Structure formats: C-alpha cells, structure tokens
Amino acid sequence: MFQKLFFSAMVFISAVLLSLNRLYAQEEEGEIIIISEKVGEIIDLEERNKYNLFPGIKGFQSAMIFKLPDDSYVGKVAYLDDTNGEKKINWIPQTESEISRIRSHIDPFKEIVFINEKVGKMIDREERNKYNLFPSIKAFQSAVLYNYRFGSYLWKVTYLDETTGEEKIKWISPTELELTRIGVHKETPLKLKGIFCFNIGLGTSFHENARLGMIISEIKVYEFIAFAASMVVAPKATIISGNVSFNPDFNTNNKKRLIPFWTFGSSIDAAPLLNFGGGVKIRLIKNLGIRTEYRHWWGADINVGSIFGSISLCF
C-alpha cells in the first residue's frame, strides 16, 4: 500500500516539475512578440490600464508575449501577490484570436475627445467640481477623455500623490452618468446617434442649364456614415433618391468647420437611376451650416451632373 502511494506521489511530483521546467524554458526558447509599436516588447502597468489589458490580474506589474517553437503563444505576466506582496510570475497560454483581441485594444486608440465649446478638450479642477466628476480622486489636477474602439472611452486623470507630491496618471473607464453630464454619448456600430440635418437649397444642371430645387433629410447613424433621403425638383421632372454618405461628421459638438463627404445611392424618375457625388459641409454655428455638393445621375435615358448649394439645420 505504502509503495503504491509513494509511487503515485513521485509520478505527481515529476509531472509538476516537468510542467514547471517547460514553463521556465518557454522564455529561453520563445521569441518575444511585439503586440504593437505603441507598447513595445513589455506592457507596463500604465499601458495595461490605458488599454484595459489583462483585467483579471490583480497586482499587475508587466506582461510579455512569447511565440514558442511549436507556433503556440504564451504570456508571461508579472504581478504582486496580494497576501505577502511578493513578485510572482503567471504563464498564460494565448491563442491567435486572443493576440488579435489584445492588438485591437491598442491599435484603434483614437484622439482626445473635444467635449464641448465651454470645456474644450480638458477638464480642469473648476470644471471637475461643476460636473461632479472623480469624487474619489484626491489632489485632482486635470482629465482628458480618449475615444477608442467604436466609441468606447477612457479618462486620463492627472493627480498629485498625497505622500510624495509627485504628479501621477490614472486611467479610468467613465460611467454613462459621467458622459451624460458632460454631453458625450457612447456610440455603438449602427446605433442611431440622433443627429438629424435638414437641407434646402438651389442648384444648376449642366444639361440645358436648368434651375433645380433640392431638399435633403439626413440622419447620422455612425461616426462616418449617414443615411439621406432627397428630392430634386426640375422643370420637367422630380427625382427622389435614397443615399448613403461617408464622413458626414456634422456633429453639433464638433469643432471642425469643413467636413468633406461622399455619397451614392439610387433614384427614381421615369425609370430607376443611380446617383453619386460629393461635397463639403461648412459649419457656421452650432446648429447651422452650408452644404455644397456635386451630384451625378446615370441611367438608361439620362447622364447628367448638377451642382447645389443649400442651408443646413442640424439637431
């Protein structure tokens, strides 16, 4: 009986030692993978918080990704034990899909959000108190909001350490309530953004120099996409169209003045038509702008282009 137990114990210990030996050998045998040029070979604590990586690892310190000779991947994660504070290593197998997911957290990181005309791009201490933001952060200095991954957001908060007085940075995921307070709304793919523009104007056709009237209703459905319905009234015809427009970023909180766009769609006159074109939207004030564009119609009996100018009212 004793011999069987002893043999079983030895087999178990040998298996554990072989497993540990393989894990420690991975670093020597493997090739370090650079997930992104933004983080390099080692993902540090600040980068982990910024890009929301390895969220389940408490006491995170750093991480490296290795590609092994058998083309598999493993992550070497250093962390502090929450019981005794000792630094430990956790080897985590990674699949190619997991590697891609980590890259997707890093590479699509976008620009700082322009919040509104009064705040601009940075929340200072006075504005922090006004909007009741970051109540748990002592010695708050400033905060900026980053937009990344289909309208997800992260706060970069700067504060002073209570003990050393040094300036430090903390990355925080905002709550829906915080975003609502400052007038920012989370975006998801194909979710209506509630930005509607009504345009009315005049144009000239290159065919017989005919005078045209145009009415366009446009609603923004995502950051670079809008749907539009339009009606063009000509002396001898009325053309109704449905279009998809790209880069129509006519956000009422957007600071940009000139917004180029491209559009294409289908139309109905006496027979079905295709239409395409592009132009520029010029923002005058928050809800008012000017739209200039070229539109071309093509079909069995028509091949003509026109230019238009219109007034835009956006909500």
Would you state the pLDDT for residue 39?
A: 86
Average pLDDT over residues 189-210: 70
The tokens describing 119, both together, are: 């705040």
Would you state the pLDDT for residue 287?
A: 78
pLDDT at 286 over 90: no
Average pLDDT over residues 48-56: 84
pLDDT at 142 over 50: yes
Alpha helices in 150-252 (DSSP H): 176-182
Average pLDDT over residues 196-222: 83
| Whole-number Å distance between alpha carbons of 231 and 248 | 19
Query: If you average pLDDT over every residue of the chain, what do you get?
Result: 79
Would you state the pLDDT for residue 309?
A: 93
- Give the tens place of pLDDT for each residue, 297-312: 888 878 889 999 999 8
Average pLDDT over residues 160-179: 83
Q: Is the pTM of this model over 0.75?
A: no
Instruction: Give the three-state DSSP class for 230.
Output: strand
Average pLDDT over residues 37-49: 87
**CATH topology for the 195-314 domain:** Porin (2.40.160)
